[in-house]
A and B are shown apart, each in its own frame.
Chain A
Amino acid sequence: MSDAVLVSTKVNGDVVEFACPTDEVLMDSLRDRAGMNGVKEGCGTGDCGACSVTLDGQLVCSCLVLGVEANGREIGTVEGLTEDGKLHPLQEKFIEHAALQCGICTPGFLVAAKALLDNNANPTETEIRYALAGNLCRCTGYDKIVRAVQATAKDLRKSKKR
C-alpha cells in the first residue's frame, strides 16, 4: 500500500487535480486520472519515448517521473498540439508523409519533434535524428518521420516570414 497525495497541476493549460499514489508514475496519472490517453506506454523504462510529455516546457519521459512530482508544474501532452480541433502542422505532415503505421509511437514523436522545432526552427537531418533518438518506431523505418519533421520546419519558417 502506498500513500496518496493531492496533486494540483496544469495539463495543456487546464488545471487538473487528483489524488495520486506516491509510487505512481506520471504516465499512469496522465492516462488514468487526467484522461490523456495520447500518452502511450511502450517500455516503461525510458527507452522508447512513447510516453514523452513536456514538464515545465522540458521534454521528459513521463514513465520516469512520479505523478506527485507534477504538483504545481505544467505538463504538455500530444492532446495540447491541436487548437480548436485543428491539427498541428506536424500532425498534418505526419499524415501527408505517411510517417506512421500502427501509431503507438506517434504521440511521443510529435511531442519530441515539437520540442525540437520550438528550439531550432531549421534543424539539419542529423540534428533531427539525434533529437528523436529517444523515440523508437518499429514500423516506419524513421525516414518518413524525418521527412515529415523537415517539411513541417520548412512550412513553419515560410509562414513566419509572411
Chain B
Amino acid sequence: MRYESPATTKEAVALLAKEKGAAFILAGGTDLLVRMKMGLAEPDLVVDIKRIPDMNTIKTTQTGFRIGAGVSGAQLTAHKAINKAWPGVVEATHLIGSDQIQGRCTMAGNLCNASPAADSVPAMIAAGAKAIVVGKGKRRTVPVEKIVTGPGKTSLKKGEVVEAITLPKPAKRTGDAYLRFTPRTEMDIAVVGVGISMTLERGVVKKARVCLGAVAPTAVLVPAAARALVGSKLDDAALNKLVAACAKACNPIDDKRGTAAYRTRVAGVLAKRAAKIAYKRAGGAA
C-alpha cells in the first residue's frame, strides 16, 4: 500500500486518477481503517487529504459556509457561527461516535462512506447542503442528496474528491433539528434519523425540508412531508399529515436494530419532535 499526503486538491485528484489499483481517500479514517482491519477494503493507494490546507478550514462566505472535507466533528462543534446558523447539522455531526471519533470523523467521510444510517447526512440534506466535487480538470457543485446512490455506493466518478461541503446562509426565521433513535445514547448506530429545516413567516411555515435516515437504502428527502408542514403553525392536523407522509416514504429493512414496522413508526414520532424543535428555533411560539 502506498500512502500519499498531498498539499493540494489538484495533486490529490491526479494521484487518484493515475492509480490503476484500489485507491481510497483517507479523511478521518474512522470508517476506512475499520474496513481495512476487517479486510473489507484493501487499498493499493491511500490519499490522506488532511494536509491540504483548503480542506482543513471552515470559511464564512457571502452565501454561507464552506466546510473543508477534512474538518473534524470536533472542529465543526467548536464553530460558533455554524452552531447558531445550523444547530441541527452540528448536533447530527456531533452524534457520530465518541469524543475520540469526533477528533477525526468528517461530514464528507460520513457522506461518502454511504451508510444509510449516517447521522450527519439527513441534517445536511434538510439544510440544503451541497458537496463541492473536484475531478481531473473540472469541479461541480452537487446537492448532498445526489451523492449517495445506495448502501456503500456514491455517484462520484473515479478520481473525484469531495473538497468541501457548503451550507447556505439561513434565511431569517429559519430553524433546523436532527433527532435519531438509538438504544444507547452514545456510540450507537441510528435505527431512525430525522433532519428537518423550516423557514417561518409570521409564525406560519413558509418553506420546509424533511429528510429521513436509516429507513431506506439512502437518506430520503420527503417533499410530501415538507408540504404537510407548509402553511401551518404546526397544529395537530399538520403534524399528523407529516407522520403519514414520513411513514409512506419509509422503505426499511428488518434487522437486529429494529423491525421495518418499528422503524416506520419511530420515523413519524421523531419527525414530529424534530419539527417542533426546528419550529421553536425558527422563532415560532411553541
Contacts and interface: CB of A to CB of B under 8 A. Distances in A.
B204 interface: no
A155 B30 CA distance: 35
A161 B246 CA distance: 55
A65 B104 contact: yes
Nearest to A49: B100
B98 A3 contact: no
A6 to B, nearest CB: 12
Nearest to A115: B99
Nearest to B186: A133
Nearest to A130: B186
B37 A45 contact: yes
B97 A3 contact: no
Interface string A78-110: 000000000000000000000000000000000
B101 A5 contact: no
Interface in B8-51: 26, 28-30, 33-34, 36-38, 46, 48, 50
Interface string B226-255: 000000000000000000000000000000
Nearest to A60: B103
A112 B100 contact: yes
Contacts of A133: 98-99, 185-187
A5 B4 CA distance: 10
Contacts of A130: 186
Interface residues of B, number: 28
Interface stretch (A10-18, A51-59, A144-152): A51-59
Nearest to A58: B103
A58 B74 contact: yes
B262 interface: no
Contact of A23 (B36, B100, B185): B36
19 contacts: A2-B1, A22-B46, A23-B1, A44-B37, A46-B30, A46-B101, A47-B187, A55-B103, A59-B99, A66-B3, A66-B26, A66-B46, A66-B48, A112-B100, A131-B99, A133-B98, A133-B186, A133-B187, A134-B99
Interface of A: 2-3, 5, 22-23, 25, 44-47, 49, 52, 55, 58-61, 63-66, 68-69, 112, 115-116, 130-131, 133-135
Given A5-B3, A134-B186, 19 more contacts: A3-B1, A22-B46, A25-B33, A25-B37, A44-B37, A46-B33, A46-B100, A58-B104, A59-B100, A61-B100, A61-B101, A64-B33, A64-B34, A69-B5, A69-B29, A112-B100, A133-B98, A133-B185, A134-B98
